[in-house]
Amino acid sequence: MKKLNLFKVFTSKSCSDAVNKVLESGFIGQGPKVDLFESLIQSHFNTNKRIITLNSCTAALDLAYELIGVNEGDTVISTPMTCVATNTPLYNRKANIIWADVDPITGLIDPNDIAKKINSNVKAIVCVDWCGNPCDYDALRKFGIPIVEDAAHAINTQYNGTHIANSGGDYVCWSFQAIKHLTCGDGGALVVPKDKVENAVKMRWYGFDRTLSSSFRCAQDITTYGNKYHMNDIAATIGIENLKYTNSLVQKSIFNSKKYSDNINNKKVNVIPFDNRSSYWIYTTLVDDKESFIKYMTENNIEVSPVHNRNDNYTIFKKFKTELPNLDTFFSKQIAIPNGWWLTEKEIDYIIKTINNWK
């Protein structure tokens, strides 16, 4: 059996020709392709909310924090079980981070632990749709505090019968990084509340309104802080071509994940209960003896790995360290196994058989 990779990049065969046309057009910055991509993903998410494309999910998160007004000394409740990009913008802003514990089975932020830690100084709650599984947004909304949703794993995730663009956080942040279901090479997007749209559009390009004049850099004053967070037409074009296949890629990941949930029966490898609302960008198992499992799977040409280190292990976040017993349990066991669009039915069956034979 050839090596079965945990991740793989998908790019449409039509990307090359489409990108070449942009390169030859003489306009490769933020332009008509970005506008078109924004309208297409808004339609894909089936939402009337304004979606702003950016150059990364990190930019989306930082812009969300800026729109909320997270400044030095402000308190934010967040989860450490995530990519470090979720929380480094908070560190850069010199915010005070309160870590919330997670569900020990799903890894999702625990509203009950938030309830114990919340206070009048909390500016925002930051949560992550781990694997693509949605957080409990009904419970999170009860706190009455802006919710920043890191949906990097959750391109098609549903909540309350509709896409999370409509039913998730107040600010929903997506990643179009290389190995996501939808890639632009790199890129991101942000759902912006209606009253913040005008500022958000300016803030992704230094504070300028690019629609007002051809010489906006010289003709406009900057009244709103901004950064260089915009997407360009090259990335947008890649996204436009790949978006045509996103639904089928996600459906394949869901199909493979359901097969795992139904057929893995090794008592040493616990599967997280299947959630039909999820995008299943990754499929997480819980294994007591992680190192032995990784060694065994590697010997059988199957790449498995923990996905992301818990952020409170990093030196930069040391001062925020607190006891998180459920996260201790989840992090000590979580291992992702390959579940993506590139795997054949025969390969999925091989992975299941290999796991079930582990002793």
pLDDT at site 219? 83
Relative to beta strand 171-175, strand 147-150 is parallel
| Cα of 51 vs its chain's centroid, Å | 15
Cα–Cα distance for residue pair 198/192, rounded to 1 Å: 10
Q: Which band of pLDDT confidence, cut at 50, 70 and 90, is reported for residue 225?
A: confident
Convert the pLDDT of each residue in 158-212 to its tens digit.
999 999 999 999 999 999 999 999 999 999 999 999 999 999 999 999 999 887 7
Q: Would you state the structure tokens that stand for residue 26, as one six-digit string? A: 């003489």
- The CATH T-level fold of domain 15-241 is Aspartate Aminotransferase; domain 2 (3.40.640)
pLDDT confidence bin for 214, thresholds 50/70/90? low
Residue 153 predicted with pLDDT over 70: yes
Residue 216 has pLDDT above 80, yes or no: no
Mean per-residue pLDDT over the chain, rounded: 97
Q: How many residues does this entry show for the chain?
A: 359
Token digits of residue 51: 């979606």
Q: Are 9 and 236 in contact (CB under 8 A)?
A: no
Q: What is the distance between the alpha carbons of residues 246 and 254, in angstroms, rounded to a whole number?
A: 12
Residue 215: the pLDDT is: 75
- Are β-strands 269-271 and 283-287 bridged in parallel, bridged antiparallel, or unpaired? antiparallel
* Confidence label for 231 from pLDDT (cuts 50, 70 and 90): very high
* Nearby residues of 157 by Cβ (< 8 Å), 6 or more positions away: 129, 132, 133, 134, 151, 163, 164, 168, 277, 278, 279
Say whether 46 sits in a helix, a strand or coil: coil
Against a cut of 0.85, is the pTM above it? yes
Has domain 247-356 been given CATH number 3.90.1150.10?
yes
Sequence spans of domains, the chain: 15-241, 247-356
From CA 100, how far away is CA 86, in angstroms rounded? 14
Q: Tens digits of per-residue pLDDT, 281-319?
A: 999 999 999 999 999 999 999 999 999 999 999 999 999
Mean pLDDT, to the nearest integer, of 329-355?
A: 98
For 32-84, the pLDDT digits (tens) are: 999 999 999 999 999 999 999 999 999 999 999 999 999 999 999 999 999 99
Percent of the chain exceeding pLDDT 90 equals 95
